[in-house]
A and B are shown apart, each in its own frame.
Chain A
Amino acid sequence: MVEEERWVSLAQKGDKEAFCQLIRAYQAPVYNLAYRMLGDPDEAEDATQETFLRAFSRLHTYDPGYKFSSWILSIASHYCLDQLRKRKGRFVSLEGIKSWRWMPDRRPQPEERFLQHEEQVAVRRILSKLPPQYRVVVILRYWYGYSYEEMARMLETSQSAIKSRLHRARKMMAKLLQVSEETQVSKESRDALPASL
């Protein structure tokens, strides 16, 4: 942490090498956030680069009393919300999204790996169905473990708004899982029908 403060301080004075250290330290969390928000690896990579460019040009506004990770993720969140706002209106189906670089290949995999893959697909599908304002709080809560207070500060809103968004997001996710489960059950019973005849 002391090392990080030193990098931030040097970067604020224009030291690019120190800023490179910050990029190395935070590229994974920023990319993860962008990826979960935008659902596309190329867009996530672009958003990550843009986040660091914005951070560098706004370093003078960074308050050292605030965690650097929260500050950089706040910039990334706002950028992703802007991108989704711009994207609004043009519908992007799940099928239209390019294949995922992190996904396991098509060769037969052990059962555990297969289940993991299924879970990742389910997570992706659920997140893609949430409105951006709900999606961002879910990501900040589940992947980064931020408190209501921290999220409110990062997203420049009130704690009650965060509480409400998280509650609505969870309700929506519960509903989506229920629908998905019911669809699965009806599909299984349909598939089982010809065999029993």
Chain B
Amino acid sequence: MRCQQASEWMSLQLDGLLTQAQWEELEEHLQSCPHCAKEWGMMLAADQLLQGAERVSPPRDLVPLVMARMEARARRQRLLFWGLGFALGALLFVWGVVFWDGAWRVWSVLSAWDAFRVLDCLFRTGVLVVQVFVLWLRVLFESGGGLVLISWSCLAAFLMILWLYIVLFRGYRGRRV
């Protein structure tokens, strides 16, 4: 038996996973190898030391502390949810007022034909916007500048995710309740 295998078997023996035949083989090796015998003695000593180690309990009841932190986290998440919701709602409201009010004013002074032309114009504008977007994508991927732009976009996205992570999961930590 090699010393490496003997060492592995010592660990298994401490967990009661060696068969009787294997244990006898290990014992035989231990009698002939002082180095392994010494290691076995030390492993046994460490095993006994850990077997006798006490369990420690928290110095106080942690329930109120955990519940307080849980409340703080829920409050923070609620605040973030309603804050973002309010900001988005306000943005939509402003956009709606500006856009629809303007559109209604134009619509009310136009004839049916003019209205059709306006719709046609809007459609062409939409097509143009899509073409510009496609062109922008091509530029992005075909030139060095695009790579720079992608890098900046990634950095911005990363910072945004990091900010969200800090606010949602880590913001309350470090503040002991």
Closest to B9 in A: A167
Chain A residue contacts of B70, Cβ below 8 A:
16, 53, 56
Is A41 at the interface (CB under 8 A from chain B)?
yes
Chain B residue contacts of A175, Cβ below 8 A:
42
* Min CB gap A68→B, angstroms: 16
CB under 8 Å from chain A, chain B span 1-55: 7-8, 10-12, 14-15, 38-39, 42-43, 45-47, 49-55
Chain B residue contacts of A178, Cβ below 8 A:
38, 42
Closest 5 CB pairs of A and B: A174-B42, A173-B46, A167-B11, A31-B58, A142-B50
Closest to B10 in A: A170
Is A48 at the interface (CB under 8 A from chain B)?
yes
The answer to whether A52 and B66 touch (CB under 8 A), given A31-B57, A45-B58, A45-B59, is yes
Interface of B, helix, strand, loop or mixed by DSSP: helix
B42 near A120 with CB under 8 A, answer: no
Q: Within the assembled complex, what's the spacing in Å between the Cα atoms of A95 and B73?
A: 35
* Min CB gap A150→B, angstroms: 13
A48 near B53 with CB under 8 A, answer: no
Q: Within the assembled complex, what's the spacing in Å between the Cα atoms of A102 and B59?
A: 8
A48 near B62 with CB under 8 A, answer: yes
Contact among B50, B58, B66, B176 for A138, CB-based, below 8 A:
B50
Known: A16-B67, A31-B56. 7 other contacts (CB 8 A): A20-B67, A48-B58, A102-B57, A126-B49, A163-B11, A173-B43, A175-B42
Q: Within the assembled complex, what's the spacing in Å between the Cα atoms of A141 and B53?
A: 12
* Min CB gap B12→A, angstroms: 8
Is A122 at the interface (CB under 8 A from chain B)?
yes
B residues near A (Cβ < 8 Å) are 7-8, 10-12, 14-15, 38-39, 42-43, 45-47, 49-59, 61-63, 65-67, 69-70, 73, 173, 176
Chain B residue contacts of A143, Cβ below 8 A:
53, 55
Chain B binder among A2-10, A22-30, A69-77, A106-114: A22-30
B69 near A49 with CB under 8 A, answer: yes
Chain A residue contacts of B53, Cβ below 8 A:
119-120, 123, 142-143
Contact among A16, A28, A120, A176 for B57, CB-based, below 8 A:
A28
- Can you name 25 A-B pairs with beta carbons within 8 Å? A16-B70, A27-B63, A31-B57, A41-B59, A45-B58, A45-B62, A46-B176, A48-B58, A49-B65, A53-B73, A102-B57, A116-B54, A119-B49, A143-B53, A148-B15, A166-B11, A166-B15, A170-B10, A171-B39, A173-B43, A173-B50, A174-B42, A174-B45, A174-B46, A177-B42
